[in-house]
Amino acid sequence: MSSKLKQFLQDSERKAFDLDHRQKIRFNIGKYNAAVQNGLAAYDNHELARQRASFLKTQTINNLDKYLMEFEKNFIQRGGKVIWAQNTQEALREIGAIMKRKRAKSVVKSKSMSTEEIHLNDYLEKNGIETVETDLGEYIVQLAEQRPYHIVTPAMHMSKKDISELFTKKLGIPPTDDAQQLVLTARKLLRDKYTQAEVGITGANFLIADIGGIAVTENEGNARLSTTFPKTHIAVVGIEKLIPSMLDLDLFWPLLSTSGTGQNITIYNTILTGPRQPTEKDGPEEMYVVLLDNGRTNLLAQPEQREALNCIRCGACLNVCPVYKNIGGHTYETTYSGPIGSVITPHLAGFEENKHLSYASSLCGACTSVCPVKINLHGLLLANRRYSVEQGLVDKNEKLAFRFWTYGMKNRKLLNFAPAAVKNFVLKRVQKDTWAVRREPLLAAPETFTDMWRKQRGNE
């Protein structure tokens, strides 16, 4: 058993029986699920929108090279600079070089899972650059020295009381249960950071090929501030975030917001097409887009599993997943948690170390049913499991157990030879540290099928 799997099982066990944690998550996710149901009422035909989005993203991913080159050409024409990063090391090296040229001492960041993926904050801090998360949820988990808990809601696992205690400890404010006061405290501290920072860093929800722009979706306005005041803007974006045209945002913006938070559309939606132009009054003097591969082409090379690259990071699959709601986002120990994280992480970060995530599923299909781009998530989890077996990434004891099981199931005489008491002794030993830890052990029937069949035939 690998160390990552062992840790995953231990953390899952602890979180699943942490009643305080479960209460917080069920409460917070419950609010989102109710809002999403209300948001869906605005659609005349939500299923048709999902079908169109799925088709469009699939066509784009299948022609990714074409759209990437189109994006680069159009972005450069307006003075932007494109950096192609094959992996984490290349991305960090290039960003570090920009920081050095700019003599940057401070950075403001808006919420970005791609920067979490490359551990950008740690890299910048180690190089003496102050990095401040400006999204409220990200700011909270940064203060708590934690990774984001959820793709959309980084601090979902924390209650108002938890945040108050954190602010009291880290920021020295008096304890308060007034949520507005907590928000105002963070807002006041962050305001000065925007004007002091030399560099602003964001992700992007979409790369728009036909205009060479990035689209950023948010609810707080912090991303706009992070891209307006600093003289340099760096956007770190996964290469799969492409859509062909700006007109496609008419489809994707509402799908993203409704599936994620239940809103018809998020409060701030911004399109950035490069650095400040001569006729513009604000914006950065320089703008870079770092196109991040980091294992995505490994996934692209899998004809069956590449569908996962259609993901628009709405977080809907996390909110309905029974496994995620019980073990929590931090248990996965990955940038992307929940069903989508379990599908893509083995391809992005290595199957041998992360194949266990594809088994952390009930295969109930709830994730597939809510995905706004109709990714067959539970089917892809099964595909990952099959792939790991085909690659020989299976524990020796598991291989041995299945070999004995297969041999026994093919040999009726051998299966019937041992009495039920012997079978149950073996079953109890096998289940001792797994199934039977929290459940009654599975037992063999007192009579074999062969005996029952003979009796039945004898009674005719």
Lowest-confidence pick of 3-12, 65-74, 193-202, 262-271: 3-12
Say what the pTM is. 0.91
State the pLDDT confidence band at 459, using cuts at 50, 70 and 90: low
Q: How confident is the model at residue 455 (pLDDT cuts 50, 70, 90)?
A: confident
Contact 73, 279 (CB under 8 A): no
Reported as a pLDDT band with limits 50, 70 and 90, residue 282 is confident
Residues spanned by CATH 1.10.1060 within the chain? 1-35+308-394
Give the three-class secondary structure for 83.
Answer: strand
User: What was the pLDDT predicted at 454?
Assistant: 86
Q: Distance (Å, rounded) from C-alpha 395 to C-alpha 34?
A: 42
- CB of 245 within 8 A of CB of 60? no
* Residue located via tokens 């290595």: 350
Q: Which of 140, 152, 149 is CA-nearest to residue 21?
A: 149
**One-letter amino acid of 382:** L
> What amino acid is encoded at 23 in this protein?
Q
pLDDT at position 392? 87
Interval 448-454 mean pLDDT: 87
| pLDDT of 93 strictly over 80 | yes
State mean pLDDT over 171-184: 93
Q: Are 299 and 306 in contact (CB under 8 A)?
A: yes
- Give the residues across from 202 on adjacent strands: 235
The pLDDT of residue 146: 95
Whether 335 contacts 113, CB under 8 Å: yes
Which CATH superfamily groups domain 42-294?
NagB/RpiA/CoA transferase-like (3.40.50.10420)
Please give the structure tokens belonging to residue 433.
């540290």
Residues of the chain with CATH 3.40.50.10420: 42-294
Q: Which residue has the higher pLDDT, 458 or 444?
A: 444
Supply the mean pLDDT for the chain: 94
Residue of 160, 166, 101 lying closest to 139 (CA atoms): 166
The average pLDDT across 185-202 equals 94
Q: Is the pLDDT of residue 436 over 70?
A: yes
* 3-state SS, residue 82: strand
Coil, helix or strand for 213?
A: strand
* H/E stretch holding 206: strand 206-208
Amino acid making up residue 198? E
Question: Confidence band (pLDDT; 50, 70, 90) for 416?
Answer: confident
C-alpha span between 362 and 378 (Å, rounded) = 9
Which residues is 238 bridged to in the sheet?
Answer: 292
Task: Express each pLDDT in 232-274 by its tens digit.
Answer: 999 999 999 999 999 999 999 999 999 999 999 999 999 999 9
Residues 101-138: tens digit of each pLDDT: 999 999 999 999 999 999 999 999 999 999 999 999 99
Q: Determine which of 170-179, 368-377, 412-421 has the lowest per-residue pLDDT on average.
A: 412-421
d(CA 23, CA 386): 35
| Cβ-based neighbour number of residue 81 at 10 Å | 16
Cβ–Cβ under 8 Å, residues 309 and 318: no
Q: Which fold is adopted by the domain 1-35+308-394? A: Fumarate Reductase Iron-sulfur Protein; Chain B, domain 2 (1.10.1060)
Q: What are φ and ψ of residue 277, in 5° steps? A: -90, 160
Helix axes 179-196, 136-143, angle to 10 degrees: 90
Tell me the pLDDT tens digit for each residue of 301-326.
Answer: 999 999 999 999 999 999 999 999 99
